[in-house]
Every structure is written in structure tokens, then in C-alpha cells.
Structure 1
């Protein structure tokens, strides 16, 4: 239910085009949620195939937006922005209408195109939008390469719109040169996130309930949206988004360069760089036919688990290493279903730690706060477990939805105020969890075993493994020197992450 509002109060509308649903939030400048709505999305999954009907996106946006705004009275909608799943792409005609199905972020049918692009010197992964765009043209013929949110924003303003540089990144757009690759593709104009695309047209207003004339602002990917919603925009801050899979995104003054292409860099309004990567481990590896609250309680008896897991949701890994042929595995045999559950929770946390070690290996700043968002952040047990495995404090905000990030970006696009300032006012931190020293130490040996196993399988590069062991050894020595109950053993006294001196 919407809270009582002042007459003529301004709210900002964020719309998130997810995998399973569309969500809309109407939020004030201080983070008060005045209205929310959602609508389900379907899709087609068959093996490596994963596609959606773009028309469903628009219908879901209409439903979710009307629901979010239906109870608001005396409230002005100052503007809106839309985020989508990174790497989801389709073809449209000259009027911006869909001319193909949408290939979703994890559709794997363009592997051959990705190989040819890599041979040509482009650092792309198999499921990125660029190889999928080439595949679509080969199957469906010519068309304008279009990203998920562009379909919705075109309908909102009544005609084709530029794409934003955030969604364009995985389609090969070079953010440092502000240029597309030289390929035979019909590629759109690109603008920075936060750019005004137009206004809601009368036809869209009637369909969505969003007032005609409302400013439509260019958005960012869902991962960037979640990062904004976490308030993780100051240099050295990081947001870990754990849902079906795991995404880590941070803020840095310069791009974090990675010759393997595992870590990529978005650019936020104001010039800040947003390095990050997307792993294929995550909550999607958990069985769906059990009560997660009950299983969390039972899992607490298995720390560490009898089985070390690398819980990939689907074949292939993208971060903290690139291994298209990687598969999920268990080292050891779980005692029962609770132990297996524990192994998966711990396995995701261990992979998360390796992601941070990889980022440190590349020289990324890690000395700011780490915020947990995504559906898994609803699990208090898992949040504490992750803090313990990582050996660092974590923050959990009240609202963990990417739609909140889009509301903040809409406010930035209309007012021109710096995005970090807007986000910090909108984001409300629910709790901060400190790591437990004894539990951190418990997971040192399983982490070392996992690093070794990934190296032996040829997936993790040896220098990265050496770096991970070096950081683990230093942190373990610090832990041993501290008295019991001393708190976070993986950070220095000023709260900055320990540096083992091996950064490049």
C-alpha cells in the first residue's frame, strides 16, 4: 500500500525487464516507495536456446506500470528509466517494431559466431549480444540490432530511440572510443545512460497509466541498475547481485583492464567506470521443490559441508574465469540433502570470494563497502555465510530491486544532480553484517581446495590461483595473530582490504 504523500510530491518511476517478470517502482527522492507493480513473463528454453516474445515485454510493462501508479494521488511522475537483461538482443524494422524473437542473455546458439569474432580480435563471450546479432541476421535477414529496453522506450515515446551505451557494451560498443566495431550490421545510435530520449506519448499513456509528457530517460543494464540501487557508485564500492546467477559490479576511476575479457567496464553518468563480471554460479543451482527457510536452518549444521561445490546453473563459466566447457561439480559426498544444500550455498560464496580475488589480481579497487542485492539477499543465513566466507562486512539494503536504480537514474537524467548523491539518498541500508572470525577460518581450507581443483581442470589460470592462495595465506596469518572474537580477520584496522603486494 502506498504511503501518505504530500500534495504535488514528485516520484520517479523505475522499470525492470527481468527474465521472469517486469517490475515497476514509483519512488520519492528519499527512497520512499509509493507504488509497485509486477507482471509475469514467459519464454522458451530448449537446450542452449532461450528466447522471449518482445510483445510480452510491452504488455507486462503496461500491467506493472498501471499497478504501480494506480493508488498514487497528488503525485507527479518526474521521469522514468528502463533496464533490461544484459546481452538480450533482437532485430527490429524501420519503425522500431520487433522483426525477430529476442535472444535472451544466456542463449548459446551463437557460439560459432563468437569464435569468428574472437579470431578477428574482438573480446566477446559466446552469449554476448554481438555474436547473437550476427546469428539473428543470418537466420532472419536484415534488421536493426536492438536491445531489450529499446523496444519498450520506443513504444513509450512513439518511435525508434537510440540505445544506451550500457546495453550496447556486449554488442561490441567501445566505450573508450565511443564507436561500434566495423561489422556489416545495422547498429543504432548510442547515447550515455541518463540521456533524455523523449516523452511518453498519448497512446503509451493510455496503455500504461504513465502521464503523457513524462520524461523517458536512457537506462542501463539490470546489473548496473542493481548497483545503483545498492548505492555502490563511489570508487572502491562493490555490489554483489545474487539471483539465478551471480554478478559483481564495482566503481573505479579508470577501466579495469582484463586481456581475457572476463571483466568488462560499463560507464556511468559523470565519467565513473563500472567494472564487473557475471558468473554462472548462483541460486539457480538450488532445488526448487523445498522450503529454503527450513533448508537454511538445517544447513547450519554443516559448516563446512562434506562436499565442496562449484554450483554452475548451466554449462560454461564466464567469471572469475572463462571456460565455455566448464560443468558443475561436487568434491566429496554430501551426508544428506541438508548437507548438499549447505554445499551449494557455500560453493556460491567460495566462487564469490574467487571473483573478488580475481578483481584484486587485476588491480581493481576493493576498499569500499560491499553490498548484497538480488533475490538471495532475502536469506539472512546466506548473507551471514557470505560475509564469513569473504571475511569482510557486507551491507543489505531495504530495497534490492533494479527498478529502484532506474528510478534514481531517471531523477539524475531530469535534474542533472550527480547520480551517486541521488542514489545515496534513495538507498536505505537495512543491516550491516560483520564476518565471524572463527567461521572465516573454517572456510579457508575448502576455498584452497576449490582453487586447486579449478586450476587442475585447466579452467583457472595459474597466476590467478597463486594470487588467491597468497591472499588467503596472508589473511589466515592475520587471523591466527588476532584474539578470538576480534572481528573481521580479512581486513586491516582501517577497514581496507589487505593487499599482498602482488597487484600489477
Structure 2
């Protein structure tokens, strides 16, 4: 088990100075206990209902991977880390101030649980591809990998379809049902990680149209409908009796049960708000909640999103709409499999002992353009704007004079250009110029990276305050909405907060498209039969 906990004082850019936040403004405000269960591990925080992160702990967990395509985590480890962090945080305040609990985090993952909400196996994360063959057996066919009539039914009703080339709940659940019968036999519900946490807190298994978005099993033509679509469930061949009941997005799912209250150090009966994916929490944390107010994420993965008034799908570029924040609108959904994680990979390869600040400072010593070094940051394949699980990272332009600073900067520029490549297609999808773009995620702590994104997209970028914990800010707003303390219109009416970066160079997204075509050509060349000699 990897456990690296640290207390963070959320300063202007969310930098860790090793101190707990004390005496912060709003110290007598009502608080929520907020949990952000990312792929790298949980963040646990006390957040005001105005969205101020007062105190936070960040912990790391291990993802176990192997050549079979497995990528799993231990749900009990999540719970132990979250519970111990919660007790420490709540002990620093009057517990009566904690008036709600909210959860956000990773999605497109599967936790098998029993009737009591306890895990009966490991979590299959969104990186787990062992179920791909089973997903193909259900939806696979000759058109972009799909059976046309089946995928058309999904797109028409839900605006998207489960992936047949990457890790998704459809393949994960089918894998467990067909290849892990001992786990399937003990499973009462297949839930998302965030819904596992709310179920553990309340004793009630639930999901919502937002939290279960990666199943694509709800008819999103009518956002007032909160249920699975019977035809899509039949087409999926999933066991309907093991899918948890759905509740309205952002509603209170129950009170904190006595057992969980003892574990968390929070009063029993405290309202627990239905969990939302990190996409939704990021939109709330950036206050990008009005139509076409855009935000982009530089987290482990990367994405570009905004609320839109109608359902839509771009099958070619893997961009769609999903149920939004419960206001009758949708959120644009897309995903790039590698975001700021690329910089972590670069550090581990070149300079393992370096801090994030040291890496970005080193990158700043290289000129724009990284002395001709180019990086396509596709370490784990790609979903948007191309779905290509076989895509791999490309480094081009290396020479004898290439230095470490050039390579680090090229990785950062490559991620920014990849976001810009996606951004071009999202603007076409929405038919709107999206500006300014609120930037969230740990990568946005770097002033250099924020400027790179502005330059690459050709759009003004606003760095959300404390961007690393933007989703926790969003959970504060989510709890305020659920308790009736604010409205989305009130949130949208405030101007974007944070430092603004204006583009100072020509947009660069199309450059990554060219690099992608080059990588595909290399792969095709590598598959061609070689002439036999002699």
C-alpha cells in the first residue's frame, strides 16, 4: 500500500506549505466534509458552503497493474484513508459546523459490493481493459468498431455508447460476471467508486444519471426522467438487478449512518449528498455553470467542457453530452487519457527526486518550442478527439544538443497542444467561441502551463483559485445547492475568479493532429510484412 498523506494550506494557487489552514476567512461558516476520490488517491477537506477550502489532506493510493490489462485499487484502502483524514480534520473544528457531506471523483470504474455496501472484490478502474473483449461481443461491429443498429440505439437515447476499445463499466461488469464468478456470486450491486462511498456512508445503494454516465443506460432526451432505459439495459446484457437505483443528481441520498459517523467523526444523520463525477464538480468549482461557460482540466487526465442546452453527439471525435447539474441542461463530455500525468512520467524517468516546482522552473529555462523537440503525450492511448487505445506517445526532434529542460518543456507544450486539439473540436461541437476558459487541476498551478494553454488554444485562460482543489470547491457548492443555500443562477452570476492569461502565440492544436497522423503511419509501417532476404 502506498500512503503518502500531507496537510495542505490552500493558498492562492493551492501550493502546499506544510501548514494546516487556521483562522481563514469564513471560519465560523457552516462546513461540509468534501471528498474527491481521484485515480491517484483521495483528497479530504473541510469546505465552506461558499466554496472556500478551509483545510485539506491529500493521500496517495496504488493502482495495481499487470500485463493482462488489470488496473485495480482497494476500496477498503480508500475508506481507511478517508475515515482517518476526516477524524483529524473534524477534530480541529466544532463538529456541529459540519452540516453536509459530498463526494466527487473518478468515474467509469466498477466496485462490486454486497447487500451492506461492503466491497467483495477490488475496484476495476477506468484503466482496466480486461473486459474489452466482452464489450465487443455485445456492441462490436464493422463501423468504427461498433454494430451500427446497436450503437445507434444508444446514441439516440443516451448521446453516447460504452467503449469497445477501452476500460468502461460495461466491459468491467461483464468481465466480472463471466470470468470472476466467485466475485459475481457475492455481488449485490455494481457501483461507481463515488457511489460506493455514499453507500458506505448511508447504508443505501444509489446512483444518479450523472454518476452512472459512463454506462450510457439512461434516456437523456428527457432530463426529468431518472431511471435506466429498459431497451438499453437489454442491449447491454448487464444484470439489471445488480444496477443500483437512481436518484436525482445532486439530491440528498440519506443521513450518515451510525457506523460511518463513528468512522468519520461526524454527527450521525448529517445529510449525505449524491455523488457527482469530477467533471461536474470541476464545473461547479470553476463556477462555469451557465450555458457555454467553459472550463478545462489539467489533472491526471484532461478535458474541455461547458454546459449546453441540448443533447448532441460527435461520434467521430468522441464528444457527447451527459446529464448536467440538475438544471435541465447538459454538460459536454470528452476525455484525454493523459493530462498532467505526463509531467509525472517525465519526472520519474528523468529526475525522480524533483518537485513539481523544480520541474516547471527547469522547463521555463528552455525557449518556447523546446528547441525543436515535440511530444505527443499519449501514454495511455486516447479517447478524444480520436478514440485510439493503441496510440502511444511520440517524442520527435531530439538531437545531441537536446537538454533535460528541452524535454520537460516539450512534455508540457505537448499536453497544452493536445488540449488545444480537443478544444478546436469542442468549439465546433458547441458552435460557440468559448472564452474565457477556466482552468482547473494540479497542472494549472504552473503559471507557465497556464500560459501554454492560452497560447495553444488562442483563448484567454483564467486560473481558478487553488486549482488543485477546484473539485473540492465544487463539492462545497454542490452541498449548498442540495441544502437550498444557493442556486446555479447565483453561482453563474459571479465573474470568473483568478489570474487571467492572454494568448501570446498562434494556436497550436493542429500541430498535434499532424503528429498523430505521423504516429499512425509509423504503426502501420511496423505492421507491414518485411521482405525476406536470401
TM range (shorter): 0.7 to 0.9
Supply the distance in 2 between the matched residues of 1:13 and 1:428 (Cα, whole angstroms).
Answer: 25
Q: How does 1:151-190 map to 2 (within 5 A)?
A: 151-157=196-202, 159-176=203-220, 178-180=227-229, 181-182=233-234, 183-185=237-239, 186-190=242-246
Which residue does 2:178 correspond to in 1?
A: 138
Q: CA deviation at 1:276?
A: 2.0
Which residue does 2:18 correspond to in 1?
A: none
Q: Confirm or deny: 8 A CA contact 2:96 2:267 kept in the other structure.
A: no
TM-score, with structure 2 as normaliser: 0.78
TM-score, with structure 1 as normaliser: 0.83
Q: CA deviation at 1:428?
A: 7.6
Q: Does 1:431 align with 2:499?
A: yes
Which residue does 2:329 correspond to in 1?
A: 272
Residue 314 of structure 2 aligns to a residue whose secondary structure is coil
Residue 239 of structure 1 aligns to a residue whose secondary structure is strand
Q: How does 1:358-373 map to 2 (within 5 A)?
A: 358-373=425-440
Q: How does 1:66-105 map to 2 (within 5 A)?
A: 66-73=87-94, 76-105=97-126
Q: Confirm or deny: 8 A CA contact 1:285 1:311 kept in the other structure.
A: yes
Q: Does 1:124 align with 2:162?
A: yes
Q: CA deviation at 1:292?
A: 4.0
Supply the distance in 2 between the matched residues of 1:278 and 1:149 (Cα, whole angstroms).
Answer: 18
Supply the distance in 2 between the matched residues of 1:90 and 1:387 (Cα, whole angstroms).
Answer: 38
Which residue does 1:214 correspond to in 2?
A: 270
Q: CA deviation at 1:171?
A: 1.8
Residue 415 of structure 1 aligns to a residue whose secondary structure is coil
Residue 223 of structure 1 aligns to a residue whose secondary structure is helix
Which residue does 2:360 correspond to in 1?
A: 296
Supply the distance in 2 between the matched residues of 1:208 and 1:85 (Cα, whole angstroms).
Answer: 21
Of 291, 311, 320, the match for 1:235: 291
Runs of 4 or more off by more than 4 Å in structure 1?
A: 4-8, 422-425, 456-459
Q: CA deviation at 1:354?
A: 0.8
Supply the distance in 1 between the matched residues of 2:450 and 2:357 (Cα, whole angstroms).
Answer: 13
Moved more, 100-109 or 168-177: 168-177
Which residue does 2:192 correspond to in 1?
A: 147
Residue 40 of structure 1 aligns to a residue whose secondary structure is coil
Q: Does 1:390 align with 2:390?
A: no
Could you tell me which runs of 5 or more consecutive residues in structure 1 were left unpaired when the two chains were aligned: 460-504
Supply the distance in 2 between the matched residues of 1:371 and 1:382 (Cα, whole angstroms).
Answer: 13
Supply the distance in 2 between the matched residues of 1:420 and 1:12 (Cα, whole angstroms).
Answer: 21
Q: CA deviation at 1:199?
A: 0.4
Of 52, 56, 72, the match for 1:51: 72
Which residue does 1:337 correspond to in 2?
A: 404
Change (3 A) 1:297 1:8: closer
Change (3 A) 1:353 1:96: same
Q: Does 1:319 align with 2:384?
A: yes
Supply the distance in 2 between the matched residues of 1:173 and 1:27 (Cα, whole angstroms).
Answer: 33
Q: CA deviation at 1:422?
A: 4.3
Change (3 A) 1:326 1:254: same
Residue 475 of structure 2 aligns to a residue whose secondary structure is helix
Supply the distance in 2 between the matched residues of 1:251 and 1:340 (Cα, whole angstroms).
Answer: 36
Supply the distance in 2 between the matched residues of 1:433 and 1:134 (Cα, whole angstroms).
Answer: 46
Query: What RMSD, in angstroms, separates the aligned Cα atoms of the two structures?
Result: 2.5
Q: Confirm or deny: 8 A CA contact 2:111 2:124 kept in the other structure.
A: yes
Q: CA deviation at 1:36?
A: 2.4
Q: CA deviation at 1:270?
A: 0.9
Q: CA deviation at 1:247?
A: 2.1
Moved more, 259-268 or 134-143: 259-268
Q: CA deviation at 1:280?
A: 1.9
Which residue does 1:498 correspond to in 2?
A: none
Q: How does 1:305-316 map to 2 (within 5 A)?
A: 305=370, 306-314=372-380, 316=381
Supply the distance in 1 between the matched residues of 2:132 and 2:22 (Cα, whole angstroms).
Answer: 47
Which residue does 1:493 correspond to in 2?
A: none
Supply the distance in 1 between the matched residues of 2:459 and 2:291 (Cα, whole angstroms).
Answer: 17
Which residue does 2:37 correspond to in 1?
A: 17
Change (3 A) 1:212 1:8: farther
